[in-house]
Structure formats: C-alpha cells, structure tokens
Amino acid sequence: MRPAVLLVCCLLFPAAAMAQSRPPSCDVAQADLEKYLGTLSRSCQKDSDCDGYYYRANACSVAVVLRKHKLTGKREKQLLAQQQTVRDACNVYYRTRPACSPIPFRAACRRHACVDTMAAALPGEPAPKPPEGYPFATIRHACGPADGPALQIMLTKVANPGKNDARVFLSLYRDLPEPPLSKPRTFELERMESGDGVRCPRPNGCESAERGHVVLEKFDGTGAEGSYELYFKDGTVERGRFKAAWKEVREACG
C-alpha cells in the first residue's frame, strides 16, 4: 500500500469509530423509545383491559395507554435501557425546564385498541376542542387564607372584563418571590396551604383545581411572566402562559 493511501486509511478509520460510539441526539433517543413503546400491546375487548403507564423518560410527557400488563425480564431491561438513553441524551433540556406533575389520562377500549380519551380523538372522529385561552392578565398583592400576604394573578379572555366574563385566579400564599426574580421558580398549588388555582367560567360558578403549579419566569416592578397548569376533578386541564401587569386593588388584610 502506498504511503498516501495508508495515511488516508489511518485518518478515516478513527473518525468512523468515533461516529459509531457517539451517543444519539435527544430527538433520536426519544424516537427510538417511541418505536419500542409501539411494540407493546394495545389490544382490548373492554375498558378494564386498558391502563396508562408513565414509560416515557420525561415526567412532563403524557402516559402511554396500553393493554394491562407487567413488564419483566428482557422486556423490562429493554425499557429501562431506552429510558436511560433518553435521559442521558436530553439531560440539558430536562435540567432547564420546570418540574411537572404527571398529566392525567383516561384509559378506554375503542375499536379493540387501548386509547387515552383525554389526549386525542380516534381516526375519523373530531378532536376534542381545547380550552379557550386567557390572553389578558393582571397581578396584585392580596390576602392569604389566614390574612397573611399573598400574590394573585387574574387571567381573563378580554382586556376589560365585566362581571359576567370568565376568569382564572392563580394565588400564591407561601414562599413569595422577591423582585426582581433571578431565575425561574415553580410554585406547587396546594389549596389553602401554598396556593390555589380557581376558574370561574360564569358568576357564582367557580371551581378550585385539585392540584396544579405556577412557573414564574419574570417578576419585577412591572409585573410577572410565566405559565400555569391546573387539574380539575372532572379531568379537564387549564394550562397556558401569562404576561401580567401590576394592578393593585385596595384590600385590608388581618
């Protein structure tokens, strides 16, 4: 072999070896996990044959609705390995996003296949209408359950709501942030303790969320920006983003 050819081979083979050993990207690792999940059985005869499993590596992902089962042996090892690959590949992405609560599911048998009726419609059927957003928001100081200090964000569908217009209230009672916020903070909403989420689609028709959270990304003298997720007893979810301006309302606490 001529020296020039030998030099080219020496340069190419290490590069090829490095390419083979390079870990997969986040997108590729997630796609491989989804491909594996697609091999698990979804066949059913009745609703009780189905259940949901949080098999995806990210806690913010929806459950996988499958035929009831228990993974053991080789199948379990495969799943654990795929999940770890995704966590390793998507580590930076997972570290920089807020913590999440598990997304609820409703497992059902439709046309002999297990589906999540809260997540998507069947082929040929209309998709469930998403909840309408609340594009307008204000934030103010308020009173907590024991007349302590609190922050309240009010979300509305119109800029100047009247008494009959729908509202969502996000209230924080504990560990209130100090402006300016140096980094994003997540506040879990535990009713009458750390905070509360309430939706009022009509007057005298308000309902508190069973659980939820608020993420503040910005909080200063001009207002607040962030996102929220509220989970209600009927299985519906209110979620979205807000950009709230300060609008103080006179309220005497204590």
Q: Is 71 or 3 the better-scoring residue by pLDDT?
A: 71
pLDDT digits 0-9 by tens, 55-96: 988 766 788 999 999 988 898 999 999 999 988 888 765 555
First CA to last CA distance, the chain: 91
Q: Are 213 and 226 in contact (CB under 8 A)?
A: no
Percent of the chain with pLDDT over 70: 80
* Lowest-confidence segment of 25-29, 57-61, 78-82, 229-233 by average pLDDT: 57-61
* Lowest-confidence segment of 102-106, 125-129, 250-254 by average pLDDT: 125-129
Looking up tokens 């986040």, which residue turns up?
26
By 3-state DSSP, what share of the chain in percent is helix, strand and coil, each rounded to 5?
20, 30, 45
Whose CA is closest to 116, among 36, 52, 46, 33? 52
pLDDT digits 0-9 by tens, 165-206: 999 999 999 899 999 999 999 999 987 788 999 999 988 889
* Lowest-confidence segment of 2-11, 24-33, 48-57, 184-193 by average pLDDT: 2-11
Mean pLDDT of all residues in 10-35: 66
Mean pLDDT of all residues in 105-128: 71
Kindly report the pTM of this predicted structure.
0.51
Angle at 192 between CA 188 and CA 196, to 5 degrees: 45
Q: What are the residue ranges of helices labelled H in the chain?
A: 3-21, 26-37, 73-89, 91-95
Summary mean pLDDT of the chain: 82
* Element at 51 (helix H, strand E): strand 50-53
Q: Can you give the pLDDT at residue 187?
A: 93
Question: For residues 184 and 177, what is the distance between their CA atoms, to the nearest angstrom?
Answer: 10
| 125 pLDDT above the threshold of 70 | no
Q: Can you give the pLDDT at residue 213?
A: 93
Q: Can you give the pLDDT at residue 133?
A: 78
Half-sphere exposure of 173 (CA within 13 A, CB side): 16
Query: Is the N-terminal amide bond of 180 cis, ω within 30° of 0?
Result: yes
Q: Are 141 and 247 in contact (CB under 8 A)?
A: no
Q: Is 101 or 149 the better-scoring residue by pLDDT?
A: 149
Question: For residues 146 and 51, what is the distance between their CA atoms, to the nearest angstrom?
Answer: 41
* Lowest-confidence segment of 22-31, 176-185, 229-238 by average pLDDT: 22-31
* 12-35 b/e (C-beta count within 10 Å ≥ 16 → b): eeeeeeeeeeeeeebeebbeebee
Looking up tokens 């209309």, which residue turns up?
126
Angle at 98 between CA 92 and CA 99, to 5 degrees: 105
Q: Can you give the pLDDT at residue 18?
A: 45
Structure tokens at 81: 């390995």
- Which of 24-28, 29-33, 62-66, 150-154 is most confident? 150-154
Q: Can you give the pLDDT at residue 95?
A: 58
How long is the chain? 254
Question: For residues 137 and 241, what is the distance between their CA atoms, to the nearest angstrom?
Answer: 10
| 230 pLDDT above the threshold of 80 | yes
Q: Can you give the pLDDT at residue 7?
A: 45
